Chain A
Amino acid sequence: MDQKILKKNQIGKLYKELSGEYSFFAPINKKGNIVFEKIENAEDIILDYLNSKIPPKSVLFPQEEVLFEYTLDDKDIEITDRQDLEQKYLIFGIRPCDAYSFELFANFFSFHGDWKDEIYLKKKENTTLIGIGCNTPRTTCFCTSVGGNPFNKENMDIFLSDLGDSYLVEGITDKGKALIKKLSWLSDATKNDVKKAEELAKKAEELITTKIDVDKVVENLSTCFEDPVWDEISEACIGCGSCAYLCPTCTCFDVIDETDHYNNRGRRIRIWDTCQSCLYTMETSGHNPRDTKIQRCRNRIMHKFSYYPTNYDLLGCVGCGRCIYVCPANNDLRVILDKIKKIEKKEGEKVVA
């Protein structure tokens, strides 16, 4: 039988068995926020959560990451590349929308194959995703409008369904199936278990009430670059970066060289950046092509719903709804997209990607 059962009191056993081989990341409660962190104690793991505050992109694309280190002397610079890229990662308890975001990352970090970000790609290659379906999606969730589903198993290696006192365990990829085989102590699932999981999936899908006509939004965005609607959309925005930092598909980063002149060494790091920052597009000349928040708010929407479809034939949004409920000014993405949907079409204007 392909489907297995993991009892809720066996999480500790699972952790014990896998944490030697893998860097084991899972959701924990950190100062009242659910975040994915490397687990030290299996009892910290929380699986009955809505969704994490900080998306699990932070595991493979952390907010701050060393690209390489260097030492300097009078003549030469010696560069030391990352030595830890063979490390295997396991992300346990990831939600389907967040797992899908890694598919979008694959495009960004390999830019049509013209260029490859080896650090990210290597880490992703060494990562196993054990995801879990959402029994109770939030009212702000809209994954079904952007091609997802609260029980979407596609981007996982192993998929869990919360049946109450146990989890139904399904191997999705070969990697996942092989891992399940190694966990020989898992008991077999019954037909009833499988049926129950199917019912939960159906019920969860029905709970998603936010529906967005994304096709119409994408279509309208191609002709509304100069529309006055952007003034209105950016009205309440206070210009912080929480929508971008907590977005599972935002990938922008800034690169900084930190040199320790006293010890003749340094490191090149990357840190998350956001197009909502006024410095993001500041040019060396002092000119800033996006110097108002109107332009910056427009860029965030354009990037996800216009440039992504144009460049990768994919939407840049997974429908997790984080930006809706974390926005300090309650600048609700659902309202923004609705305003865009209602724009009456004008001819002759083209989007500049």
Chain B
Amino acid sequence: MGIETSNKEITNSIRENAKKLLSEDQVDVIIGYSQGTVPLSSTPIIIRKEEDVDKLIWNNLCYINLARYLAPLMPQLCDSERKPLRIGIVAKGCVARAVNVLAAEKQVDLNKIKMIGFNCNGIINRSKIDQEIGEKEMLDVAISGDDIIVKGRDWEKKFPYNQYINELCKVCQVKMPSATETSCVGECQELDSIHDEFSDITDFESKSADEKWAYIKDLLQVCTLCYSCRQACPVCYCNLCFVDQNKPIWFGKTTEYQDIFTFHLVRAQHLAGRCVACGACSSVCPVGIDLNFITRKLEKIVKNRFDYTSGLNAETVPPMMDFKMNDAQEFMLEED
């Protein structure tokens, strides 16, 4: 089955399930994706009425992780007394993983959330296409069969879909919600563990420490500290981010290399064992920086040390937030 057909089927099933949730009064609102207004984009949308469900879509540009809007819960998802509404959320696998992490960390009330699950077929690597097109305006990006077709004023370019999706999506093993049928309509799976090979970071791991340093430094040259990576991250929900602490100031906020580097590395550390591999942080970056390999490396360390994968259920607290008497601690002296 081609990607184009699969997208149509997913869109239909999302709409049907959304309609069902609203008509049976199981939820007050649905949060999902709608058609973007510029190529390579999509817009998150809140649906309140049954007749609006046809605005919901699925395509391979629905890169925002919708769990982002749950913690802190945005005002549009609350009633007039600022109490949480019952929310239906269009959930690819990584959205559900993020909801699970938020639930395990007591940030969301799962009783108020229904997932609309489906078998996600991956997200297009926006910046890779953007870079290859260069200084020509894209007017339309569409999937035809198994290709991504990019059209401009008087040109057209074809990209094979399976080569132009995010590296994370290529190795993804949680394509549909890891949830139970009571918390999910549509497709879902029950998962205890997955066998992630972390093959997406093989290249990075093979570099020497100096090479890694130079590689990251080079990537960060264009960072403007707009914090879109932090803002798009579904599990970054602190009321006051460490980098915003100003009484007293904890970190420098200049564009000098050490400040930018510190922000990104400390942010990544805060995600150790919590990153759900959605890739939203790199998809949203306005200057196309992809630092997923850092969080992925941390995930791998956590997996090896604690046999833990984030967001597979809503009960297990991420290991970095938990303590057990038999925790292995020798790594504190090791290089990894």
Contacts and interface: CB of A to CB of B under 8 A. Distances in A.
B43 A241 contact: no
B228 A294 contact: no
B224 A54 contact: yes
B228 A328 contact: yes
A332 interface: yes
B64 A271 contact: no
B43 A236 contact: yes
Contact of B255 (A34, A258, A271): A271
Interface string A43-81: 000101110011000000001100000000000000000
B287 A235 contact: no
B37 A231 contact: no
B214 interface: no
Contacts of B226: 240-242, 245-246, 274
A277 B244 contact: yes
B232 interface: yes
A31 interface: yes
B284 A330 contact: no
A330 B135 contact: no
Contacts of A34: 135
Nearest to A326: B286
Interface in B274-313: 283-289
A211 to B, nearest CB: 15
Interface string A222-251: 000000000100111011111001100000
B246 to A, nearest CB: 7
Contacts of A348: none
A272 B287 CA distance: 17
A271 B284 contact: no
Contacts of A334: 37
A31 B219 contact: yes
Interface stretch (A136-144, A162-170, A190-198, A305-313): A136-144
Interface in B36-59: 36-38, 41-46
A245 B252 contact: no
A279 B74 contact: no
B227 interface: yes
A112 interface: no
Contacts of B219: 31
B75 A33 contact: no
Contacts of A246: 224, 226, 286
Contact of A330 (B41, B136, B225): B41
Contacts, number: 130
B143 to A, nearest CB: 18
A264 B228 CA distance: 36
B227 A241 contact: yes
A33 B287 contact: yes
Interface string A255-270: 0101000000000010
A335 interface: yes
Contacts of B254: 64, 256, 269, 271
Nearest to A321: B38
Interface string A122-149: 0000000000000010111000000000
B191 interface: no
A292 interface: yes
Given A238-B231, A240-B232, A30 B222 contact: yes
B127 interface: yes
Contacts of B42: 330
A236 B45 contact: yes
Contacts of A63: 224-225, 255
A328 B284 contact: yes
A331 interface: yes
A245 B139 CA distance: 25
Contact of A32 (B127, B240, B253): B127
Contacts of B255: 63-64, 271
22 contacts: A30-B222, A33-B288, A46-B135, A48-B135, A53-B286, A63-B255, A139-B137, A139-B139, A140-B38, A235-B46, A235-B76, A238-B64, A240-B227, A240-B284, A241-B225, A277-B227, A326-B286, A328-B228, A329-B64, A330-B36, A332-B43, A335-B37
Considering the complex of A and B, which 8 residue pairs feature the smallest CB-CB distances, nearest first?
A: A328-B284, A240-B228, A330-B41, A240-B231, A32-B131, A241-B226, A242-B226, A326-B286
